[in-house]
Amino acid sequence: MTGRIHSTESFGTVDGPGIRYVVFFQGCPLRCLYCHNPDTWEFGKGREVTAEELMKEYDSYKEFLRSGGITATGGEPLGQPEFLAELFALAKKKGIHTCLDTSGALFDPDSHDDTDRVLKYTDLVMLDIKHIDTDRHRELTGAGNENILAFARYLCELGIPVWIRHVVVPGITDGHDDLFRLGEFLAELKNLKALDVLPYHDMAKPKYAELGISYPLPDTPPLTKEAAIAAREVIISGIKHALRRK
């Protein structure tokens, strides 16, 4: 079996615990306005590889990755579930920690056999929740968030550890009430292990220019680190509020 990847990174430090070998899968169903990897959008492009080839590449770096593992990101890794399951199965045979970085957008609450094949070999899920309001989520990404929130709850049912990621974009995802509601939702997740609140940046502008694509947020300023910390505090207050109610 072969899959399509955009690229790999041999020394990832922000893609899960420890130092990671990161595989960027090709293809994504979302069109997030702040996406910094538009070159991974189109399915069917990229480099064709086998899972065995990726594991050989991992082995060439493994001396530096003992405290980490393999992270599948993208693009959207769950767009190629059979290939991803094979890669993670090979990793688990070698005792390698596996992390899935996903939007959860392709999860189907009524038919998720393909996702289950992947989760069988997944140690950690890093789940991006773009916006807690489904209509605003659709404006931001092109799709609602119903399946994403259902995926978060499903991971909780299975007891798979999850790290939640939320990018704070000025004027789009930084509303106090939305951040608070996100916190209330996260309080449901007993498997929540970490919360990464990331400030929006516009460093992908040159990449869009190279690809001949108009940058969707030309007038949106990068978020300061202080504002991201403040947003995280609002989310945490929502979590605490919901837990106190319980």
Give the pLDDT confidence of 7-47 residue by residue, as tens digits: 999 988 889 999 999 999 999 999 999 999 999 999 999 99
The pLDDT of residue 246 is 78
List the chain domain ranges.
Answer: 2-168+195-218
Question: Which distant-in-sequence residues (6+ apart) come within 8 Å of 1 by Cβ?
Answer: 50, 51, 82, 83, 86
Q: Considering the domain delimited by 2-168+195-218, tell me its CATH architecture.
A: Alpha-Beta Barrel (3.20)
170 pLDDT above the threshold of 80: yes
Type and span of the H or E element at 89: helix 81-93
Rounded to whole angstroms, the Cα distance separating 205 from 189 reads 35
The pLDDT of residue 163 is 98
Rounded to whole angstroms, the Cα distance separating 125 from 11 reads 19
Q: Which two tokens stand for residue 9?
A: 């990174």
Other beta carbons less than 10 A from residue 65's beta carbon? 20
Average pLDDT over residues 75-95: 97
For a pLDDT cut of 70, what percent of the chain falls above it?
100
Backbone angles phi, psi at 177, to 5 degrees: -65, -40
Contact 101, 123 (CB under 8 A): no
What's this model's pTM, rounded to 2 decimal places? Answer: 0.95
Half-sphere exposure of 217 (CA within 13 A, CB side): 22
Rounded to whole angstroms, the Cα distance separating 174 from 229 reads 11
**67 falls in which pLDDT band (50, 70, 90)?**
confident
66 pLDDT above the threshold of 80: no
Residue 4 corresponds to which amino acid? Answer: R
The pLDDT of residue 232 is 98
The pLDDT of residue 63 is 84
Q: Which two tokens stand for residue 227?
A: 């504002």
